[in-house]
Chain A
Amino acid sequence: MIPVMTQAQATRGRKGAAILRYPDLQPATIADVGQRKIVLLVHGLTADASYLYELMRQFDGAGYTPLAFEYPCYDGIDAAAKDLAALLSGLDQHKALSGPRIVVVGHSMGGLVARALIALEGGARYVRTVITLGSPHSGTLGSARIPLYMAYWGEAVCGLNPRGFSFKSASVIQLLRKDRPTPLLDTLMQVAPASQRVDYYSFSGGYNRIDFGKGYLKNALFNAYLQKHLPLPNDGLVPEVSSDLSQKQFSKCAPGCRHFRPQPNFGTLNHTYLIQNHLLALTTIQCAK
């Protein structure tokens, strides 16, 4: 974890999205996507790729080429998917990615970017497996402030990054399902993947306390407040009723999805620990096979 946003991440909005390689988090080259199986990690709102590093290391050890998609997270879930598709196309000049070879792991809003890649951008050409960790598939469940809390979370984990906070930002409007004429999340639900080969897995954490720093008070107040509004189980920020992609309403867009409930293994994981837990990392690697 880095204490403050780096200069490179601050200018991400101007430089545009990038697919970063492991371990130096520099833009990937065609040479980087050569032989091994590929896992592509996608971060959430207001965050950047830095907090995905440990999970990249796990996949590296399991024989994968780990990549991370870093994008201006406020421009819209669909815009992120479009950027991702264009970058994958650029890296696929030798058809190294087609096949399809990529396992996409999306954390939080990153899981929605992964689904948008499949539904809107023909991502099934590259992607064989989508794994979502604590992703709000059903949106934000009525509280208009939850995108704000997701943005708070992103800063707590990755450092100052003010650009996801605006209620006018496309991503926030989409998370609130206030985009017209058809909310993007509804569109994603209705579009069947072009290929039936894509496997879906979703994970939900069950520890409903989340930290924004080491101070007791700020965390206690947030958790006391939000737990009055969120159904159980939840990971402190996203409830399982939103992050469970195996539910009936998703059967068209994510057929055959296997869901990992908080119990028995992930009841102690909150929104942050989902990305840091060893057993969950090993389980996602098993799903990827």
Chain B
Amino acid sequence: MNSKSTPSVPLGGRTPNVSVFDKIRDWSASRSWSSPYGSGETAESIRIEVVETAESFIVRAELPGAEKSAIDVIIDDNVLTIRAPGRQSIRMAPGSVIEPRVCTLTLPEAIDDTKSIAEYDLGVLLLTLSKAQAVAARAKEPVGRQRAEVHGQGLDKDEQQKALDRLPEWACQQRVTEVLAVKATLPVRGSLDEFATFVMEQTPDPIPARLSDPALGDILADAPVAVAVFPSGAIRTVGTVLPGGENSVLLAPFDYWSLIDPEDDQLAPGEEVLHLELSMLAVVTRP
């Protein structure tokens, strides 16, 4: 992202994005417009205000009288430079050199200039600078920009036993890992069709599970599967088992749909996030 010589952020010259301004107004109610990252001191200073959101920095710079085409915005990693032609001041001696207005800010995080937006209208430059890490994280998100998460945690001995007591005897005998408490959160967005496509096609990250006995060694030859015990009492095959680290394997759900309790609705009307809780373990099918 070495772009010192040319403006990296295209200045679209569009009218301000109403929704962005609405958000700024909301934030301004609770946050001051002062910048915690310093402000530029120039021949003619540029008034700068910065608001940080989860995914971006929104920078508002006052550049009255500047031609849109003459404004340079330069981003180099986490350093933002704004440059605009200076203005003739009434206090300047005739013939004196008009220095350009320049402001440099160091932001606490790197910026992805390809995902950033600049707008200029009525003497105000508004920059929405996307945080590079947030852009990278979003790129890994599944289709539909839904962010879903799955976590697993080993249960204590009593809780493990409660789950095992619900399994049929054969599955209990063929258990090869600890019993995990798995929690998944699924944002419910879009139409039923879109959400259905997401839960049926997207694969959650595999969840590490310790072998119940290190002596089990390589259990993958015994066709292990991931089995779930749901809060309703339903028991289902929900995924495959992949190689893990030492004394552990990965429980890999087939899809998010598999993690939904078949006997329980789990989604209250109007709720926007589906919270799933279940117990998971690996059993071998060729003991």
Contacts and interface: CB of A to CB of B under 8 A. Distances in A.
Contact of B260 (A151, A218, A225, A228): A218
B283 A217 contact: no
A221 B195 contact: yes
A271 to B, nearest CB: 16
A60 B168 CA distance: 31
A156 B223 CA distance: 21
Contacts of A159: 168, 235
B192 to A, nearest CB: 5
A99 interface: no
B278 interface: no
Task: Count chain B CB atoms within 10 A of each CB in A148, A159, A162 and give the residue with the most.
Answer: A162
B173 to A, nearest CB: 9
A228 B266 contact: no
Interface residues of B, number: 36
B257 to A, nearest CB: 6
A218 B237 CA distance: 15
A272 B223 CA distance: 28
Contacts of B33: none
B170 A155 contact: no
Contact of B234 (A5, A213, A225): A213
A155 B236 contact: yes
A261 interface: no
Given A5-B168, A11-B170, A160-B171, A215 B236 contact: no
| Main SS class of interface, B | mixed
A22 interface: no
Contacts of B165: none
B260 to A, nearest CB: 5
B262 A156 contact: yes
Interface string A238-279: 000000000000000000000000000000000000000000
A1 interface: no
A9 to B, nearest CB: 9
Nearest to B225: A162
A213 B262 contact: yes
Interface stretch (B62-70, B140-148, B196-204): B196-204
Interface string B191-213: 01101110110000000000000
B267 A160 contact: no
Interface in A201-245: 212-218, 220-222, 224-226, 228
A48 B258 CA distance: 21
Contacts of A161: 237
Contacts of A160: 167-168, 171, 227, 235-237
B263 A215 contact: yes
B225 A165 contact: yes
B237 A5 contact: no
B262 A212 contact: yes
Contacts of B285: 13, 162-163
Interface of B: 167-171, 192-193, 195-197, 199-200, 223, 225, 227, 232, 234-237, 240, 254, 257-258, 260-267, 274, 283, 285-286
6 contacts: A151-B237, A159-B235, A160-B237, A165-B254, A220-B196, A221-B192
Interface of A: 4-7, 10-11, 13, 145, 148, 151-152, 155-156, 159-163, 165-166, 212-218, 220-222, 224-226, 228
